Amino acid sequence: MVVMVSFTRLLSNTIVNPLVMLANGSKKIARYDFSDPDLTVENRDEMGELVHAFNKMKHATEGYINTLKKNSEIAELLYKEEMEKVETEKQLEAARMELLKSQINPHFLFNTLNTISGMARLEGAGDTEQMITSLSSLFRYNLKMSDQIVILERELKVVEDYMFIQKMRFGKRVAYGYRLELDPAMVMIPAFTLQPLVENAIIHGISKKEEGGKIFLRIWEREGNVVISVADTGLGMSEERYEEICRALQEIRSRQRNRTSRTGIGLGNIYKRIHTMYKNGDMKIYSKKGRGTVIQMLIPQNGRKYQE
């Protein structure tokens, strides 16, 4: 009995236990689990060599699988980059086409307007000629202007051209006046700033008012800053609409949202550009239903400071 018990223990330690460890290790490898440490046995016989070979196979299999994973990730990354490259090329080609159209259409438009203006001059239609000239000037400024900041004098000329066209449309229902308390040739402001605000005053304030109204532009200097006020005597805003626009502008400033649908594209973009281009720039709105709206901009003149 003693001999049999000793033999059973020897058999268990040298054969059965290593086989059980090999079986458990194989099951984990089948589940791609290589976290267990290497198997160890005291045997120096064939079983010990089998365990040693199993450990080598485990490391080789782990390395092979990791290599496959890396190759798969690299292939996926290359595919993604290739798709992005194709998409970029498509966008670039579309941009080239848009650039080509933008170069052709303005030339055709300006040439046509100049032809009509010349015909109006020959026929003695002074107002028609002036209206076409103003329209051509507006298109040329909007289509060909690439500068971020321009002299105030140029923006005022655009407003005058725009208001001439609106006066021809609305007649005496629209009046326009301005007061300059500085030299407009010595002041720099963001491009496309004044005309969109005047256009908003026409569209949302004065055109909807039966008796029409007046737009008054005042520009002055205060503590090294230029203050621009665009006021109209249009319909004004309800308290709810005024509060909604103020909240939307605050969200734009805090960069919580980039969408300008609640403020109008022109107003929202001007507000965003002023706060992006100038550290201490500002724009405020005052409005009362039935009385009109005032938009006031503060534009520093002691150097631009981008907020990267």
Residue 182 inside a domain? The answer is yes
Residue 138 inside a domain? The answer is no
Residue 134 inside a domain? The answer is no
For residue 183 the two structure tokens come to: 């030299």
39: left (phi over 0), alpha (psi -120 to 50) or beta: beta
Note the pTM of the prediction, 2 decimals. 0.58
Number of structural domains found in the chain = 2
Q: Report the C-alpha gap between 169 and 235 in whole angstroms.
A: 19
Is the same domain home to 171 and 279? yes
CA gyration radius for the chain? 38
pLDDT value of position 14: 59
Give backbone dihedrals phi and psi of 294, rounded to 5 degrees, phi first. Answer: -130, 130
Residue range of the domain that includes 230 = 162-300
Query: Mean pLDDT for each consecutive 10-residue tract of the chain (308 residues)?
Result: 63 62 72 72 66 76 81 85 78 61 55 69 75 77 74 92 86 92 92 90 89 94 92 92 89 61 68 86 92 94 53
Residue 184 inside a domain? The answer is yes
Residue 113 inside a domain? The answer is no
Q: Distances from the Cα of 85 to the Cαs of 74, 76, 81, 88, 107, in angstroms?
A: 16, 14, 6, 5, 33
Is the same domain home to 272 and 175? yes
Domain end position, chosen among 56, 76, 96: 76
Domain end position, chosen among 76, 107, 140: 76
Q: Distances from the Cα of 201 to the Cαs of 152, 239, 264, 267, in angstroms?
A: 19, 17, 12, 11
Q: 265 and 210 in contact (C-beta within 8 Å)?
A: no
